[in-house]
Amino acid sequence: MFRSLTGRNYRIWFAGALLSNVGGWMQSTAQNWVVLTELSDNNASAVGVTMALQFGPQLLLVPFSGAVADKFDRRKVLMVTQSLLMLCAAALGVLLVTGVAELWHVYGFALALGVINAFDATSRQAFVSDLVAGDQLSNAIALNSASFNSARLVGPAVAGILIAAVGSGWVFIINAVSFLAVLVALSFIRPAHRVPDTTQEREGQLAQLAAGFRYVRHRQDLLVIFLMVFVLGAFSMNFPIIASTMAVEFGRDATDYGLLYSMLAIGSLTGALLVARRPVPRMRAVIAAAGGIGVVSLVSAFMPSFWAFGGSFVFLGFSTATLLTTANGFVQTTAAPQVRGRVIALYIAVLMGGTPLGAPLVGAAADGLGARSTLVISALAGFVAFLVGAVWLVTARKLRFHRGVGWRLQITHAGRPGLGDDPREQVESLTAPLEVLRREAAPIPVESSVPQESPTVPLATGRIRLPGHVAKDDPEE
């Protein structure tokens, strides 16, 4: 489960990021509570607008964030972005402590946070591949998620206590100090030399972005994941709105609001650690987790008490972390190294880009229909994402369903059988790599869903001889 921690660079990064993530979750909790209860009159729409401003730049800056992650030294990029995030947190903290902060200040802070995070998140995700060997990348990605969710277990609870004890402004200032941990860690890390993508020196930003789009377009598995995370990111993962409005629904204060986040984190941490135990990420886990989000969200909508709701929140966190950690690992481990930064940028843009669309709508639903409507919307999104993945799995993998002994149902893979093969006798894994499922020459690497550890082979561009046709200028004829 912790095999990637054997590397020195990743150990340093993991420790620094864990401390910084705790501060980040403290700030996120305080930010949404301040907007909902201190700078507005329990206005969930204001929380939705804040989220839209914070995550919107992820989508708009895709042409630049992915290119930066692929072209420049990711360690230096992170040192710049982390320093800017620290200054932003300190500035808003001072405004809140001095009592001059207004709602538009938080809106501006959220927008600045979004612009910086557009570059930080992409480089941070891709930076992991610079720290570990290829066979440990999936585990390192899962442990990154575990670190993130471990911080969510502690940060919101601490933030709730601090808000009640000393005020929300000090939470932002403490978070600013926590950025020193990751900056110190980055200064000690010496990642292996990464061969830059020389094509970017000859291409403009739009051409680089187009290359990432072309790569993803030829990967149906990635397109399915992108569609699923977009739907869930827009309408299911609005936890700041869900947790804050449900805390108010049950008549609870900031401490209990932070406790809800911690209960969500218990499930998230468990899900991330279980994903870390798996050797490789699989599509079936992503699809099953999407269905789990739908079921748990629907159950949570009918919980009669605060503690019952908090208990269901644990399972919602488990399903969400399983989906995101597996999807993230699948995208990173199967993307070709030359375009990995751009593919990750597209993935993050799709995941976060749904928030500007969904968060204001979910916030408006909470204001107009009640807090529980946010969970019903989350359930519907989970079921839609599950159906998208399930339909693709059945059609693209050509699944066959057979009745076994009694009520037992056997699922086999049709694959590409040879002449005389009986598809019912095939028992390949449902989500085995495409090279295993296909009984012919290896496919074009760009369409592969197998973990990539080296640059893909260039596509053939030479002459193709047509049967029965002799070229006039062919020297061999």
Q: What is the pLDDT of residue 277?
A: 77
Considering only residues 106 and 5, tell me which one the structure prediction assigns the higher pLDDT.
106
Q: Which residue has the tokens 């375009």?
A: 339
Give the chain's length.
Answer: 477
* CA–CA gap between residue 380 and residue 231 (Å, rounded): 10
Instruction: Judge whether 127 and 74 are in contact, CB under 8 Å.
Output: yes
**Residue 250 tokens, joined:** 């049950």
Specify the DSSP class assigned to residue 334: H
**Residue 57 tokens, joined:** 């730049």
Q: What is the pLDDT of residues 312-370, one digit of tens each?
A: 989 998 998 889 888 888 887 777 777 777 787 788 778 877 777 888 888 888 888 88
In 289-443, the DSSP E strands lie at: 399-403, 409-413
Q: What is the pLDDT of residues 62-97, one digit of tens each?
A: 667 777 777 778 888 889 999 999 999 999 999 988
Q: What is the pLDDT of residues 157-179, one digit of tens each?
A: 788 888 888 888 899 999 899 88
Instruction: Judge whether 281 and 330 are in contact, CB under 8 Å.
Output: yes
Instruction: Judge whether 128 and 147 are in contact, CB under 8 Å.
Output: no
**Residue 309 tokens, joined:** 């709701």
**Residue 403 tokens, joined:** 């009745």
Q: H-helix or E-strand containing 205? A: helix 205-217
| Phi-psi map region of 284: left, alpha, beta (phi>0 left; psi -120 to 50 alpha) | alpha
